[in-house]
Amino acid sequence: MNDRPELELLLNGEPYPAPKSRRAPLFRARWKRRLLVGTLMIEMCFVLPKYAHGQFLSIFDSIFSSIQNDIGSSLSSINQVIQQTQKLYQTVLAPLAALNQARGFVANSINSFRGQMNQIFNTPFTSAVTPGPQQFESILHSRLSSEIPALQTSFTSNYGAIPQVNTASPQDRVMMDVDDALGQENLKTTLIADQGADVILQTANQMENQVAVSTPGSNPFLTAQAQVANLRCQAYIQKMLAAELRQEAGRIAHDNVLIKRRTAATGGINSLITGALTAR
Q: What is the predicted pLDDT for the residue at 48?
A: 46
206 lies in a domain?
yes
Q: Report pLDDT for 157.
A: 92
Does the pLDDT value for residue 43 go beyond 70?
A: no
In this predicted model, what pLDDT tens digit does every residue of 74-89 receive, in sequence order?
778 888 888 888 887 7
Q: Can you give the residue range of the structural domain that contains 189? A: 168-279
Mean pLDDT lowest among 44-48, 177-181, 214-218: 44-48
81 is a domain residue: no
Per the domain annotation, does 141 fall within a domain? no
What is the model's pLDDT at position 68?
66
pLDDT of residue 134: 93
Distance between CA atoms of residues 50 and 43, nearest Å: 11
Residue-averaged pLDDT of the chain? 78
Cβ atoms of 89 and 99 closer than 8 Å: no
Please compute the mean of the pLDDT values over residues 238-262 and round it to a whole number. Answer: 89
Q: Is residue 121 part of a domain?
A: no
The secondary structure element, H or E, covering residue 88 is helix 72-88
- What are the tens digits of pLDDT across the range 3-24? 444 444 444 445 545 555 455 5
Question: Considering the domain boundaries, does residue 160 fall inside one?
Answer: no
Q: Residue 63: name the closest of 71, 75, 54 by CA.
A: 71
d(CA 53, CA 45): 12
189-242 per-position pLDDT tens digit: 999 988 988 888 888 888 888 888 877 777 788 888 888 888 888 888 888 899
Predicted local distance difference test score (pLDDT) of residue 66: 66
Q: How far apart are CA 162 and CA 168, in angstroms?
A: 9
pTM: 0.57
Of the chain, the percentage scoring pLDDT greater than 90 comes to 19
Query: What is the band of 60 on the pLDDT scale with cuts at 50, 70, 90?
Result: low
| Residue 71 within a domain | no
Torsion of CA 265, 269, 274, 279, to 10 degrees: 130
- Higher-scoring residue by pLDDT: 160, 6: 160
Decide if 253 is inside a domain. yes
- Dihedral sign from CA coordinates of 198, 200, 206, 209: negative
How many structural domains comprise the chain? 1
CA gap 102, 214 in Å, rounded: 10
Which CATH number do you get for residue 185?
1.10.287
Q: Is residue 245 part of a domain?
A: yes
pLDDT at 12: 46
Q: Is the confidence at residue 98, as pLDDT, over 90?
A: no
Residue 13 zone, left/alpha/beta (φ > 0; ψ -120 to 50; rest): left
C-alpha span between 241 and 209 (Å, rounded): 31
Inter-CA distances, 125 with 141, 185, 199, 202, 208, Å: 8, 21, 21, 22, 28
Higher pLDDT, 29 or 266: 266
Judge whether 204 and 229 are in contact, CB under 8 Å.
Answer: yes
Rounded CA-CA distance 187/145 in Å is: 11
